[in-house]
Amino acid sequence: MAKAKNSTIFFCKECGYESSKWMGQCPACKEWNSFVEEPVASEKKPQAAKGVRLSGRGAAPVRISEIALEDQDRTPTGFLELDRVLGDGIVKGSLVLVGGDPGIGKSTLLLQVCRNLAVAGRRVLYISGEESLKQIKLRANRIGEITGELFFLCETNLDTIFEAIGQAKPDIVVIDSIQTMYREDISSAPGSVSQVRESTNLLLQTAKGLGIAIFIVGHVTKEGVVAGPRVLEHMVDTVLYFEGDRQDSYRILRAVKNRFGSTNEIGVFEMMESGLSEVANPSEMLLSGRPKESSGAVVACSLEGTRPILLEVQALVTATNFGMARRTANGVDYNRINILLAILEKRCGYAMSRYDAYVNIAGGMKMNEPALDLALVMALVSSYKNREVDSGMLIFGEVGLSGEVRGVSQAAQRVAEAVKMGFSACVLPKANLAKLKADKRIRLIGVDNVREAIGLI
């Protein structure tokens, strides 16, 4: 063991890949320059909270029919948007990672969840390693009065934290953030890959052992030696990412992994003066302030989980001044735009290679559903021809390389959303049209290929 004591190991701080030597690019996640050197974790036996059995001694296998499911397994968070992303509330004994850029609103969201839970009669413990009690109080004042059994602790030593958990006996614990927590028996600094990983491991055992739900905050970091949340993704039950433009007040909560629900769901929030508020109707939010009668702007429909969301796709096509056409894509895949432009060039005869094209999704949303293809094509052609598309028209459909328009899933739901939002026409794949019932409130226009769709402009 004398050898292991002084030896170090290299970790990828993005994904936690281990290697005995330094590498320029991580073979696992392909990130460049992400390796950091850390001492090997000690062999000392880890200590979880009291009452947690770390070894599996005495454990006997059971039949699946013998496992009892309690009725009250899921706790609502007080936010319907969050409940849906979690898969219908918080599961007892689960470990949930909430990742996101610094300042996006992770602490605010979790403090509001703690408040809702405390008001609903749960015992909640919020542990902050980043902010003082005074700072938390200031934030709490902004989001409103807090009543009930909500306890705060400023601590970064995990042993002390487990002691506190043992004493306070909470139903739900928040750890803000995992990168500030440390275990004394590991010699590397807080935030290093081994600290973050070992700390999470103990928290996992605590959650499972005591049957409490634990939320972990993880910052997404690009610089420095702080390990990112991806290092722990495989350990936790649920991974949620909180994203959005800092200039914009909208925030999207997305499930990347969920052992208790679907990963397609998103939750939409808006950052206000008094904390985050839910956006129950994102389509309305995304379409507000839309310019009527403007070329290059069309409304598309993207399906996020079970929910169709209408959004505005904007394109600007101008003659290029240099030999090489410039292209940018905000909120959609850059390569997808290049493919769609190539389809327009080859299948429809537009000389797109002589035009710059800039594409944007209004509201700072990021969407990559193929059903957006047709709307992107229509926006590009509308700007190219400088002719507007009817602003009461919704467009969706996937575009294939021969310029054919392919059917998409859940067309009826998308059309229903269009009706709800007061649209009078909908351009959709013919394959979908055949299965839809006619509706007096909306004119359904089925198209087979891109040329037919462009004819409508």
Q: Which is nearer to Mg ion, 108 or 258 (CB)?
A: 108
- Which amino acid is located at 414 in the chain? R
Sole window of 220-228, 269-277, 410-418, 440-448 interacting with ligand TYD (rule: CB under 6 A): 269-277
Beta carbons of 454 and 343 less than 8 angstroms apart = no
Q: Tokens representing 323? A: 């030999």
Q: Which is nearer to ligand TYD, 66 or 223 (CB)?
A: 223
Report the nearest approach of Mg ion to the CB of residue 106 (Å).
5
Q: In angstroms, rounded to a whole number, what is the distance separating the alpha carbons of residues 340 and 327?
A: 12
- Give the CB-side neighbour count of residue 374, counting CA atoms within 13 A: 36
The verdict on 102 binding ligand TYD (CB under 6 A) reads yes
What is the DSSP code string of 215-232? Answer: EEEEE--SSSSPPPGGGG
Name the residue with the smallest CB distance to Mg ion: 107
The verdict on 25 binding ligand TYD (CB under 6 A) reads no
Sole window of 100-108, 358-366, 381-389, 394-402 interacting with ligand TYD (rule: CB under 6 A): 100-108
Q: Which x/- pattern, by CB under 6 A, does the window 121-160 give for ligand TYD?
A: ------------------x--xx-----------------
Q: In angstroms, rounded to a whole number, what is the distance separating the alpha carbons of residues 444 and 428?
A: 7
- Which amino acid is located at 184 in the chain? E
Q: How many residues bind ligand TYD (CB under 6 A)?
A: 15
Neighbour tally for 435: CB within 10 Å: 9
Q: How many residues bind Mg ion (CB under 5 A)?
A: 1
Binding at 142: pick from ligand TYD, Mg ion, none (beta carbon under 5-8 Å per type)? ligand TYD
Binding at 139: pick from Mg ion, ligand TYD, none (beta carbon under 5-8 Å per type)? ligand TYD
Sole binder of Mg ion in the list 75, 77, 107, 238 (CB under 5 A): 107
Binding at 231: pick from Mg ion, ligand TYD, none (beta carbon under 5-8 Å per type)? none
Binding at 420: pick from ligand TYD, Mg ion, none (beta carbon under 5-8 Å per type)? none
> Helix or strand or coil: residue 4?
helix
Burial of 187 from C-beta contacts in 10 A (0-12 / 13-18 / 19+) = middle
The verdict on 328 binding ligand TYD (CB under 6 A) reads no
Strand 238-243 to strand 250-258: parallel, antiparallel, or no bridges (unpaired)?
antiparallel
Q: In angstroms, rounded to a whole number, what is the distance separating the alpha carbons of residues 204 and 237?
A: 9
User: Taking each helix axis from N to C terminus, what angle separates 133-143 and 106-119, rounded to the nearest 10 degrees?
Assistant: 70
> Helix or strand or coil: residue 305?
coil
Report the nearest approach of Mg ion to the CB of residue 124 (Å).
17
Binding at 291: pick from Mg ion, ligand TYD, none (beta carbon under 5-8 Å per type)? none
Q: Which is nearer to Mg ion, 179 or 238 (CB)?
A: 179
What single-letter DSSP state applies at residue 29?
T
The verdict on 107 binding ligand TYD (CB under 6 A) reads yes
Q: How many residues does the chain have?
A: 457
Q: Which is nearer to ligand TYD, 108 or 192 (CB)?
A: 108
The verdict on 211 binding ligand TYD (CB under 6 A) reads no
Neighbour tally for 135: CB within 10 Å: 13
Binding at 117: pick from Mg ion, ligand TYD, none (beta carbon under 5-8 Å per type)? none
Q: Which is nearer to Mg ion, 100 or 296 (CB)?
A: 100
Report the nearest approach of ligand TYD to the CB of residue 113 (Å).
12
Q: Which is nearer to ligand TYD, 105 or 397 (CB)?
A: 105
Q: Could you tell me which residues come within 8 angstroms of residue 456 by beta carbon, excluding any fewer than 6 positions away?
A: 378, 389, 393, 427, 445, 447
Edge-to-edge strands of the sheet including 35-39? 18-19, 8-12, 35-39
Q: Tokens representing 171? A: 């139903």
Identify the CA nearest to 303 among candidates 213, 214, 410.
410
Q: Which is nearer to ligand TYD, 228 or 275 (CB)?
A: 275
The verdict on 271 binding ligand TYD (CB under 6 A) reads yes
Write out the binding residues for ligand TYD, residues 274-303 only, by CB under 6 A.
274-275
Q: Which is nearer to ligand TYD, 278 or 333 (CB)?
A: 278
Q: Which is nearer to ligand TYD, 106 or 414 (CB)?
A: 106
Q: Tokens representing 177? A: 């953030």
Q: In angstroms, rounded to a whole number, what is the distance separating the alpha carbons of residues 358 and 361?
A: 10
- Residues forming contacts to Mg ion in the complex (CB under 5 A) are 107
- Residues forming contacts to ligand TYD in the complex (CB under 6 A) are 100, 102-108, 139, 142-143, 271, 273-275
